[in-house]
Structure 1
Amino acid sequence: MSSSLFVKGMKQIFPVAAAGIVDGLVFGILARQAGLGVTEAMLFSLLVNAGSSQFAAVGLISQGIVGWPILVSTLLLNARHLLYGLSLGPKFRGTSPWKLALMGGWLNDETYALKATYLANGAKPSLSYFAGASAADYLIWNISTFAGAWFGTVFTQTEAYGLDFAFVATFLGFLAVNLVSTFHVKVAGCAAVVACVGYWLGGATVAIIAGTLTAVAIGAVSGER
């Protein structure tokens, strides 16, 4: 593993991962408010490592819903990770399956945004770079979760501090830095309209899946990047 590329990945993910500090804090707080202990909240972040599905699961738990509804909703929310893998996979042909498995386990919205941009700028695919970025992101997310869970009983009204908007703001930031052409703006607009319709018909889960599939379909048909 190239140590210089590993450190480079850690440095370049930090601005993105740092934006997720508030998300981790909010998740830890909400997990405690839903009745989970510090250990249970930490296992969520350590084993799942997918913010949106973690928030969805905690929301269902807080409503007394457990079992298959949580499994189905989180499966649908995380379906976009399959698209992330399909996007990056061709760049790593010939890579050992176990290395790809580790890379896939650390692949989330933040790390994909960085890795896709890294490759789009013409950089050579590097497992060392991706490992550094993923390790830093994973560490920051889990430290933030722990802090939020530890102090979760102090904050009872996250809305009063605007913390409920942190997760949305993070994704808006990802969108803003990737709107680099008129085509991207049009795709984002179409996906947003479809997502709104999906939310009206079936809630947040349907909105996310519908919006994602719309953007992917437009990109596949047009052939543009």
Structure 2
Amino acid sequence: MKNENEIVESFKNLIGESNFNVLEFFSGAIGDVAPIISNVMTSFKIYRLKNRLEKHESKLKELSEKVVSVDDEKFADLLKKFLFPAILQQLLDEDEDNKTGYFLDGFGNVIDKNIIDQSRILILYDILRNLRFVEIEYLISLSSTYRSYYRTLIFNKNENVENTFDNIQFSSLKIPIESKLESLGLINTGKSISYDEMMRNFNNDLKRQKNSLPRTNRTPVVTITPFGNEFLNMFSLLDKYK
């Protein structure tokens, strides 16, 4: 690994001196796995983790500097002994390289926003871990930030612009992806309505029919929930579209 010493130094700051033995796998045999992460990790996962961290070397250095600047000892312990080891574990198990930056950006935002609610942090990271890259990209595409960005590209006649989610290959994935995002509380598809709302719509349609008016068009509109926006902000998922 290039600049290995610099990366190890960043890790020392991120995880704390007392846990520095966790870093031994960087310079030891590939088959050696740090006990804080797992005793059964394969050499493939360790190689993969090394490659991922190498590609985000500058981000690691930036996060290291942020952790060093934290004055609150309790908060620093949360970062070093709880959150960063958890992120390492998740990055070892993560199947998709594309999500690596999201995990690290979330760590940076926890520091910047001084988030101390461990349960909330874990829930947000659990959702990140359970979503595929394409599902995250689809969630992003539903945001007003992305739609504004996309409209600007169209207006400027950008020849490289392409909406992945408008093609026929994606159409078969759309319903299961939306169902998953809705089950996690990230979006509202508008398809589920209460009995009272259903009866209210029925009565309104009867009134319109009596007055020879067409029925109201109630095509469901997919929207991002407040929690969905919190998720997007937690992992800086909209930053490149602003």
> TM-score range with shorter-chain normalisation?
under 0.3
Greater helix share, structure number:
1
TM-score (norm 1): 0.26
Larger radius of gyration: 2
TM-score (norm 2): 0.25
Higher relative contact order (CA 8 A, sep 6+): 1
